[in-house]
Amino acid sequence: MKAPNLSGLNPGIALIWDMFEEASNALSIKEQALLLVASIGEINDLALARFARMSEAEIKVFFKKSKDELSAMTIMNLLSAAEGCIRVDFERRAQSETETDPVSVAFQCIARYCIKNRNSPQLGIKDILMIYLENDPSIKDKLENFEKYWPYRNWLCHGRWAALPFKDEPLPEPQEFMVAITSLLDALDFRGSMNG
């Protein structure tokens, strides 16, 4: 599993990715060790008691479910961190008095309008991304690629009680989300540090 280039991204996204890779590798190592022990004989170590009565097939199913859950949590964290990066950029640009690029000016206009009407500038993530797109059409493909994964964020964050956003398709791999997120965030012209 090779991670995409993370240069210049929020360390939160890089950390999420690193933790996913480490946890995924640890699960694989533990699974292989348990399968080896199970193939030799009984598992009688107290620390491994939950696996003592499992067959090799049951051990494989357990670790498949564990890896699937790790993937789902990683995807949710990646999408949430990407949303955070985008929202922080919106806030910084909206409050800036010195930024004069088209995206910043658009964000400042929205903020002034909301303040004038005594509203808080609460835009949805899609609204913020549309402002980026209106001012930089070159991000269209990257934005569309990111948006196709966005329904998974809501599905994961709200308990996965509904059908998958795209029926008859399994949850995509975290690597697909990572590529879409890093491509979009690299393409957006962020202002200031994204370190939080």
- pLDDT of the residue at 169: 73
| For residues 46-69, average pLDDT | 85
Between CA 140 and CA 146 the distance in angstroms is 10
Does residue 107 surpass a pLDDT of 50?
A: yes
For residues 150 and 180, is the Cβ–Cβ distance under 8 A?
no
Between 98 and 4, whose confidence is greater? 98
Does residue 174 surpass a pLDDT of 70?
A: yes
- pLDDT of the residue at 62: 93
Does residue 16 surpass a pLDDT of 70?
A: yes
Structure-block tokens of residue 23: 């946890």
Tell me: the pLDDT tens digits for 42-57?
Answer: 666 655 777 777 888 9
Mean pLDDT over each residue of the chain, to the nearest integer: 82
- Which of the given ranges, 44-48, 95-99, 138-142, has the highest pLDDT on average? 138-142
Does residue 168 surpass a pLDDT of 70?
A: no
Cβ atoms within 10 A of the Cβ of 149, count?
A: 20
